[in-house]
A and B are shown apart, each in its own frame.
Chain A
Amino acid sequence: MTAMWHRVLALIVKEFLAIWRDKKSRVVVIVPPLLQLVVFGYAATFEVSHVTTAVYNEDQGLPARQLVARFEGSPTFDIVARLTHHAEIAGMIDPKRASLVIHIGQTFSRDLASDNGAKVQLIVDGRQSNTALIILGYANRIVADFNTSWLRDHGGTPPPASLVVRSWFNPNLESKWFIVPGIVALLTMVVTIVVTSLTVAREREVGTFEQLLVTPLRPFEILIGKSIPPLVIGLAEGSVIIAVTVFWFGVPLRGHLSLLYVALFFYLLAAIGMGLMLSSLARTQQQAILGAFLFVVPAVILSGFATPISNMPPAIQDLTLVNPMRYFLIIVRGTFLQNLPPPLVFANLWPMMVIAAVTLTGAAWLFRHRLG
């Protein structure tokens, strides 16, 4: 027994050295993830601000100017141009000089005064459909505010029922609170998959893996030796990212840190299992990196990291069930924002355990059965 641990320990030390000795790969494991965390934390936002807006106001009346003033006063909209001809609209939208054109017709003030209902036309650049929807949402809210104060000042009947909307867990709907905890899952996955996918493939390419197989080390021991270094790297990197999420980005951590770490542990095991399987299947490092890619990209896309799983067609939703990132994202976001209760954490934990068990066993089997 002690002999076995001695052997495994030696392998672990060797694996660490293989990553650590090369200065370039040392830098690659440490610097980029942190850089990405900060860049993505700021860049990956679905919020829209500084909307370039052009105003085409044909009406000289006071209400029209009041409506325009509401847009001017909003921090969301930057008025970049005032148009005088209908033909100018295309010249603003087509070359992206403006994302929104507000068109107020000649009869606006007259229609408003005569209780006929006035119209305002909003023209938005649909090339980015999500941005377009959000811009329209903001603009509609400004018009709705205008309506409310107009009714109040001019004695109209209020609607019979009104909506009172509140948002739980994230009252200001900051997308940073959604994206940044997700990056914990994203970066730990990318780093562990890349590190593990190369370990076996590199040795196979150089021919040292066959040597490893003829040593007294059993596949199971090789598995442990190959798994522990990426696990340690993943846990360390995960800890740093969690700390940055809390202290730099100020995302509230409302659940138990210990639950988060238990989940991270099994998530990393699942990722390592995947990486080792890919690595054992690959003949060359190039194939291993490409394989890692072919796994990571769909895994990220089908995880709910950027777009919700519930928007996907049913067949693809079923496919996400084998994706460890899907479960970890629920746990990490739930733990940060919602204080997810332990039973719900466990409901998303056991699938990751199953994936880890299957992939790690598969990798150990492949060590022996894929030679040459």
Chain B
Amino acid sequence: MSAESSRASALRRLKGLIRKETLQILRDPSSISIAFVLPAILLLLFGYGVSLDARHVPVALVVENPTSDTASFTASLSNSDYFTPLLMPDRQAANEAVIAGEAKAIIVLRSDFARRLFSPTGAAIQVIVNGTDANTASIISGYIEGAWQKWLNQYALDHGRTVDLPVSVEQRVWFNAEVRSRNFLVPGLIAIIMTLIGTLLTAMVVAREWERGTWEALMVTPVRIGEILLGKVIPYFVLGMGGMALSTLMAVFLFGVPLRGSLAVLLAISALYMLTALGMGLLISSVARSQFVAGQVSIIVAFLPAFILSGFIFDINSMPVVLQWLTHLIPARYFVSSLQTLFLAGDVWPIVLANGAMLCLMAAIFLTLTRIRTRKSLE
């Protein structure tokens, strides 16, 4: 057989495999749904449902002795978009509202509030936040501080005085001037979705073949292992990139997330991550060989770390050092960082290249390991 004809038959075998995989995907509605329905649902849920920006926070307000001064403070709270003040008759009622979760903080203006306003000690505004949700609590106390500052300036102005602030802060938030949490959550979500398609779906599908014995059946055909793997990778690669394209379109056109980097770089880095995720999925299935175990393992080693250890929601620099090291083993970490930079900042080459190189390395490791494991198992 000449080299040319063997290459032609290899290509034909590969085509056949890809056709078989594609048919399998098209016939099983759950594969299509994970590639297109799941991304859409997740993006909608996250885009609309997940927000770290608190608005209209219910705050229990106790005014022990209403005067025009307390009224001006109350009005400044009501006028703010951040609060919904709930007027409470006394501390007891306010406490109960906080325990029941109806209010997230208590603001108390004592009976001597007006009298002490311009005394040397100044009046105290007592604020109690429900610390159960620590993040929300610190955000709310920040809002209250802002409302208090604003009121102080206004109040001093109304009374012909000025408030001395030796140093004032001018803050600039780069890349995300309105500080919308959606702008960083939605790009990160693309990483989660591609992990689901690349790792979970692939691991389950190949594990099913092991379970049913069709994998062994494939191995006794003239098809080579490399070709079998390629036949698996190509259709799921296309499926995953389809999910990615859908997610990007939704991010930009539905959620108004800016895409400041170039589309070509975004596609290239996504393709690299897709290969890594597929490699992981194939490796998991070749180790697990049952759908139950493959499903569980992919959730635990791929999905949950992509969620928690990738910098998608939680800041990596704030984790304990040991966990920071661990995050270097999570492929999603490099992808999430690239996505956040490409969408919000632009083509920042030091970040894109470093992440791209790590993804290349990981894809190569996973795919090589899969090849080795698959060959060994043919005894």
**A290 in complex: contacting residue of B34, B54, B164, CB < 8 Å:** B34
**A147 in complex: contacting residue of B141, B166, B326, B344, CB < 8 Å:** B166
Per-position binary interface string of chain A over residues 146-170, scored 1 when its CB falls under 8 Å from any chain B CB and 0 otherwise: 1100110010111111111111111
- Contact at A133–B142, with CB atoms within 8 Å? yes
Q: Does B222 contact A (CB under 8 A)?
A: no
Q: Does B317 contact A (CB under 8 A)?
A: yes
- Contact at B180–A129, with CB atoms within 8 Å? yes
> Using Cβ atoms and an 8 Å threshold, which residues of chain A touch B55?
311
Most buried by A among B164, B180, B326: B164
Q: Does A128 contact B (CB under 8 A)?
A: yes
> Using Cβ atoms and an 8 Å threshold, which residues of chain B touch A28?
292-293, 296-297, 300
A144 to B300, CA, bound (A): 44
A312 to B136, CA, bound (A): 14
A150 to B291, CA, bound (A): 66
> Using Cβ atoms and an 8 Å threshold, which residues of chain A touch B300?
28, 32, 35-36
Q: Does A131 contact B (CB under 8 A)?
A: yes
Complex interface: stretch among B125-133, B233-241, B246-254:
B125-133
Within 8 A of A (CB), among B275-334: 288, 290-293, 295-297, 299-300, 304, 308-309, 311, 313-315, 317-320, 323, 326
Given contacts A163-B145, A285-B291, A290-B34, contact A311 B52 (CB under 8 A): yes
A121 to B170, CA, bound (A): 5
Closest residue of chain A to B127 (Cβ to Cβ) is: A165
Per-position binary interface string of chain A over residues 234-262, scored 1 when its CB falls under 8 Å from any chain B CB and 0 otherwise: 00000000000000000000000000000
- Contact at B131–A143, with CB atoms within 8 Å? no
> Using Cβ atoms and an 8 Å threshold, which residues of chain B touch A127?
175-176, 184, 340-341, 344-345
Q: Does B172 contact A (CB under 8 A)?
A: yes
- Contact at A294–B136, with CB atoms within 8 Å? no
Given contacts A44-B308, A44-B314, A151-B164, contact A165 B129 (CB under 8 A): yes
- Contact at A124–B171, with CB atoms within 8 Å? yes
- Contact at A134–B138, with CB atoms within 8 Å? yes
- Contact at B125–A163, with CB atoms within 8 Å? yes
- Contact at A171–B291, with CB atoms within 8 Å? no
- Contact at B135–A46, with CB atoms within 8 Å? yes
Per-position binary interface string of chain B over residues 34-52, scored 1 when its CB falls under 8 Å from any chain A CB and 0 otherwise: 1000100110011011111
Given contacts A43-B323, A290-B33, contact A173 B314 (CB under 8 A): no
> Using Cβ atoms and an 8 Å threshold, which residues of chain B touch A75?
none
- Contact at A122–B170, with CB atoms within 8 Å? yes
A175 to B132, CA, bound (A): 8
Q: Does A293 contact B (CB under 8 A)?
A: yes
Given contacts A45-B319, A115-B164, A126-B176, contact A202 B292 (CB under 8 A): yes
**A119 in complex: contacting residue of B49, B138, B167, B304, CB < 8 Å:** B167
> Using Cβ atoms and an 8 Å threshold, which residues of chain A touch B323?
39, 42-43
Q: Does B181 contact A (CB under 8 A)?
A: yes
A143 to B170, CA, bound (A): 11
> Using Cβ atoms and an 8 Å threshold, which residues of chain A touch B123?
160-162
A316 to B297, CA, bound (A): 31
- Contact at A161–B125, with CB atoms within 8 Å? yes
A171 to B348, CA, bound (A): 41
- Contact at A133–B139, with CB atoms within 8 Å? yes
Report the minimum CB–CB distance from B251 to chain A (whole Å): 14
Per-position binary interface string of chain B over residues 174-209, scored 1 when its CB falls under 8 Å from any chain A CB and 0 otherwise: 111101110110000000000010001100110010
A133 to B291, CA, bound (A): 43
Per-position binary interface string of chain A over residues 16-36, scored 1 when its CB falls under 8 Å from any chain B CB and 0 otherwise: 000000101100100010011
> Using Cβ atoms and an 8 Å threshold, which residues of chain A touch B125?
161-164
A198 to B299, CA, bound (A): 15
Given contacts A160-B118, A194-B295, A286-B30, contact A143 B167 (CB under 8 A): yes
- Contact at B288–A24, with CB atoms within 8 Å? yes
Most buried by A among B38, B52, B122, B133: B133
A293 to B346, CA, bound (A): 33
> Using Cβ atoms and an 8 Å threshold, which residues of chain A touch B58?
310
Given contacts A32-B300, A285-B292, A338-B99, contact A129 B176 (CB under 8 A): yes
Closest residue of chain A to B188 (Cβ to Cβ) is: A128
Complex interface: stretch among B3-11, B148-156, B224-232, B369-377:
B148-156
Within 8 A of B (CB), among A8-67: 22, 24-25, 28, 32, 35-36, 39-40, 42-52, 67
Q: Does B165 contact A (CB under 8 A)?
A: yes
A residues whose Cβ falls under 8 Å from a Cβ of B: 22, 24-25, 28, 32, 35-36, 39-40, 42-52, 67, 93-96, 99, 112, 115, 117-134, 136-137, 139-140, 143, 146-147, 150-151, 154, 156-171, 173-175, 177-178, 190, 194, 198, 202, 284-287, 289-291, 293-294, 297-298, 301-302, 306-308, 310-313, 316, 330, 333-334, 337-338, 340-341, 344
Q: Report, nearest first, the 10 A-B pairs whose CB atoms are least far apart.
A: A126-B176, A170-B131, A167-B131, A46-B135, A126-B173, A173-B134, A95-B350, A289-B295, A311-B51, A28-B296
